[in-house]
């Protein structure tokens, strides 16, 4: 009985954590992250201001963000 309870608890906790790892090109994070309910995000590659804006405005359930493998670059637009 206790084993079932522990197993059910672990399953429920794992369902609440939604982790995503993306390899990004600056300005493209909005195309790479389609589930706005994620709780953990790891980004590799490059990011610029557009990507940070996307995170702040759209990923409101994030608890953990790992940017240790990101190179932040200047924002260049073709407009």
Which helix (H) or strand (E) segment holds residue 32: the answer is helix 29-32
Sign of CA dihedral 64, 14, 46, 77: negative
Q: Per the structure block, which two tokens stand in for 56?
A: 């702040």
Percent of the chain scoring above 90 in pLDDT: 70
| Residue 8 reports pLDDT greater than 60 | no
Q: Are 18 and 40 in contact (CB under 8 A)?
A: yes
Quote the CA–CA distance of 57 and 35 in Å, as a whole number: 14
What are the tens digits of pLDDT across the range 12-61?
555 556 899 999 999 999 999 999 999 999 999 999 999 999 999 999 99
Read off the pTM. Answer: 0.76
């Amino acid at each position: 009985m206790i084993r079932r309870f522990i197993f059910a608890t672990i399953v429920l906790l794992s369902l609440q954590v939604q982790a995503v790892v993306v390899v990004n090109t600056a300005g493209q994070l909005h195309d790479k992250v389609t589930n706005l309910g994620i709780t953990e995000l790891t980004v590799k590659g490059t990011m610029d201001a557009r990507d940070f804006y996307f995170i702040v405005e759209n990923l409101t359930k994030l608890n953990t963000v790992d940017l240790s493998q990101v190179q932040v670059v200047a924002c260049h637009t073709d407009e």
